[in-house]
């Protein structure tokens, strides 16, 4: 009887450790652990169209993740999306004339913000807004396909011999 109780206790300990490890792994994979840590500094960028950009999307520079999107809101005076990025503290030397673009990882992958540093001597600080002229909105796949089809149809009407060999 005592041996049976001891086995049950050890099984309970291993199950608890296994579930704890599973929760930690899930938080690590989903980057949920970084949500609670409010480190780094905020940088704000204005975009005409953010496409499918989401909160917690990566912010990259040179292909390396340097931060995450921490908030997205709409400016109803200028009719633009305001994206707040939380940049990791070790990347504190980003020039103020840095440009920001929204890209998609692969054809149908997640969207992220890519920063390209400028040449200014002054660096971004907390809650600094990027120059709106240095931001490039997301490219929407549906708009590209529609534009391509419209241009193809317009070209075939102008030059009917081009469509019939």
Distance, in Å, from the CA atom of 125 to the CA atom of 43, rounded to the nearest integer, reads 7
Residue 139 has pLDDT above 80, yes or no: no
Spatial neighbors of 83 by CB under 8 A, at least 6 apart, are 44, 45, 46, 47, 50, 53, 69, 71, 72, 113
Residue pLDDT, tens place only, 35-73: 555 688 999 999 999 988 999 999 999 999 999 999 999
Q: Name the band, by pLDDT with cuts 50, 70 and 90, for residue 25.
A: confident
Interval 105-118 mean pLDDT:
88
Nearest to 53 by CA among 110, 10, 6: 110
Interval 70-91 mean pLDDT:
95
Give the residue with greater pLDDT, 34 vs 6. Answer: 6
Residue % of the chain over a pLDDT of 70: 84
Give the residue with greater pLDDT, 98 vs 106. Answer: 98
């Amino acid at each position: 009887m005592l041996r049976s109780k001891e086995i049950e206790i050890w099984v309970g300990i291993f199950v608890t450790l296994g579930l704890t490890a599973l929760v930690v792994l899930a938080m690590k994979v989903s980057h949920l652990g970084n949500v609670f840590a409010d480190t780094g500094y905020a940088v704000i960028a204005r975009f005409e169209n953010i496409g499918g950009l989401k909160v917690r999307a990566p912010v990259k520079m040179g292909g390396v993740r340097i931060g995450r999107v921490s908030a997205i809101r709409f400016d109803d005076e200028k009719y633009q999306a305001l994206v707040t990025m939380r940049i990791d503290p070790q990347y504190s030397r980003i020039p103020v004339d840095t440009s920001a673009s929204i890209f998609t990882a692969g054809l149908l992958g997640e969207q992220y913000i890519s920063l390209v540093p400028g040449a200014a001597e002054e660096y971004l600080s907390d809650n600094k807004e990027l120059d709106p002229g240095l931001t490039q909105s997301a490219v929407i796949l549906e708009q590209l396909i529609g534009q391509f089809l419209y241009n193809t149809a317009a070209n075939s009407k102008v030059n009917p011999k081009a469509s019939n060999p």
